[in-house]
Structure 1
Amino acid sequence: MIKRFPLGSAWMIIAAFLFAMMSILVKNASTHLHMNEYELAFWRSLLPALVIFGTTLARKKTLKTPFFWGHMQRSMAGTMALLLAFYGLGHLPLATSVTLNYTSVVFIALLSIFWLKDKPSLKTWVALLMGLAGICLMLKPAFASDRLLETLITLSGGIFTAFALLQVRELSLMGEPAWRIVFYFSAVATIVSGIAATWFGWSHLTSESLPYIIGIGVAGLLAQLAMTHAYHVGQKFTVAALSYLTVVFSAIYGVIFAGERIGWLEILGITAVILAGIVSSVPERKVAKR
């Protein structure tokens, strides 16, 4: 039995910082080097696919699975979510785009109600309404600017993320290990983004772009490992709450180093989405049977 202790949850702080670093690198590569989201997603996915494939061979494990189509559904949804997230990083302020990627908690609640036919608890309703309010607050400034389309496109990534996470839950319940789920996602994302990048055009590898490419891949891989370890040894609720530090780290960088301005409506919207995610992570209180 795995011993869980609060200190282990601190691994999520490291993961959140690394996820923020990856987002910052993607943002800078997109805006300064004009690299498109497809090639950036390719480099983000290639390293985890190669590392997991190599370690699988070294450990004499197998990538064969009886749930191949389940993996394909999860991987395609995850790939779409990744591409839309990277699109947002290239077209929206850092804090806004990262927060919109975390709206999956809202869409998970909606999918659970209307697709899985789950009966929502009070906690689910609170998180759902709080998250929807946060989205509305973040959309209002977009209506007053020329970024409404970009905001809606990025927001749609939350739907694909929600579907992908529900598929991960199903695969996990069927006994699939996390490393195999991550491998199939990384492999599919590498292939799809590679084809799209070939269609839309690759950027030339230069001494300026290479650090970004390596940094995005390494930061993404290490963040995934740190997050997995945090859930393995830490308190689930604490880890889930700490994951939203990615938004905080990204906002701090955007304001201090990138000169981005965040209005009060965006701040309130970001706060509402973060609180919705934390509320949704609170474990349900079991009613004792008499």
Structure 2
Amino acid sequence: MLLSALISALNGAIAKILSDDISALEIVFFRNMIGVVLILWALRIKPPTLEGGKIHLLFLRGFLGFLAMILFFYTISAIPLGEAITLNKTSPLFVSILAYYLLHEHLSKRAILALLIGFLGIIFITKPFGMSISYEHALGILGGFFAAAAYATIKKIKDIYDSRVIVLSFVMVGSVMPVFLFLLSPYIDAPQYLMFLFPEFIIPQNFSIWLLIGFMAFISTLSQWLLTKAYSASKASIIGVISYTNIPFAIGFGYMLGDSFPDFLTFCGIGLIVLGGILVSKAK
């Protein structure tokens, strides 16, 4: 999980660079298409041994992962990288809630307090004190929820599917859904706030963009495999805490790319979210 967190921060930085030239949906498409090739190659070298089953949960994991990814890449293009990744990392808080309702994991009073602390951190980051909340920040939080739902499905299928097959479901759905949305885009008069889901498909002409796309696809697929292995090996809430380590890396990468340095309230929010995650793990 520690390696996955480091790689995902670097992946976010590359996605932010690419967002200046291509849409978030194209980033998702190219990232996952190359990921499909990499995972199929790995499966050919060493075929899976688990028999499988519950194909609907495998598809659900892929679909929820796609929703989380498109929202994540869109928020990366719209708000500072450190904030986008922090909001995405609210997923461990949501994981604890979903694990309680769906997986029947125990959720103590101490864990509930930890969740409240974590969500207070969200308020500090989004700063909705003017009776409104940034649309991009709201999508970032929603992306965190979908990521949590995807992680929760891993716990349901980890014993019947090879981790590479689980990742394959994610990258395959993440390749097919963008194609579907690209085909629909000429016929959809979407409102401005949903335009990021129906952009025009434009093939990149710059070779350096293709190099970045290929590198991002490789490291993000590696990160997904490491993440899947981590969630399969230990409690979701404990692994989720370790994932917070990518926040300082993301802040550093974002600052190097021109993001403003987080203000005091944002730092407080980040601290509260991390504290909430740590307390959740200790409450288990």
The size of the alignment, in residue pairs, is 269
CA distance in 2: counterparts of 1:94 and 1:259, whole angstroms: 7
Q: What secondary structure sits across from 1:282 in the alignment?
A: helix
Instruction: Tell me whether 1:202 sits opposite 2:188 in the alignment.
Output: no
Contact 1:27 1:90 in 2 (8 A): yes
Instruction: Tell me whether 1:181 sits opposite 2:154 in the alignment.
Output: no
Of residues 10, 17, 23, the one that matches 1:21 is: 10
Structure 1: gaps (5+ residues): 1-11, 285-290
Against the structure 1 CA distance between its residues 192 and 232, is the aligned structure 2 distance closer, same or farther, given a 3 Å change threshold?
closer
Please provide the CA RMSD for this pair: 3.0
Instruction: Tell me whether 1:100 sits opposite 2:87 in the alignment.
Output: yes
Alignment of 1:1-290 (within 5 A): 12-30=1-19, 32-33=20-21, 35-61=22-48, 65-113=52-100, 120-140=107-127, 148-173=134-159, 175-198=160-183, 199=185, 200-205=199-204, 206-227=206-227, 240-282=240-282, 284=284
Give how far 1:50 is off: 1.4
* Counterpart code for 1:167: T
Give how far 1:135 is off: 0.9
Against the structure 1 CA distance between its residues 190 and 222, is the aligned structure 2 distance closer, same or farther, given a 3 Å change threshold?
same
Give how far 1:119 is off: 5.0
Aligned to 1:7: none
Give how far 1:47 is off: 2.2
Contact 1:20 1:249 in 2 (8 A): yes
CA distance in 1: counterparts of 2:91 and 2:236, whole angstroms: 18
Deviations 1:211-269 (A, max 9, x none): 22112102202323444666789999886544212111011122344242311111111
Normalization by structure 2: what TM-score? Answer: 0.83
Deviations 1:110-163 (A, max 9, x none): 3345566665213421321111111111121x5559971111112111121121
CA distance in 1: counterparts of 2:25 and 2:101, whole angstroms: 32
Identity of aligned residues (%): 23
* Counterpart code for 1:106: L
Structure 2: gaps (5+ residues): 186-198
Contact 2:90 2:144 in 1 (8 A): yes
Q: Which moved more, 1:40-49 or 1:107-116?
A: 107-116
CA distance in 2: counterparts of 1:148 and 1:203, whole angstroms: 28
Contact 1:105 1:276 in 2 (8 A): no
Contact 1:93 1:254 in 2 (8 A): yes
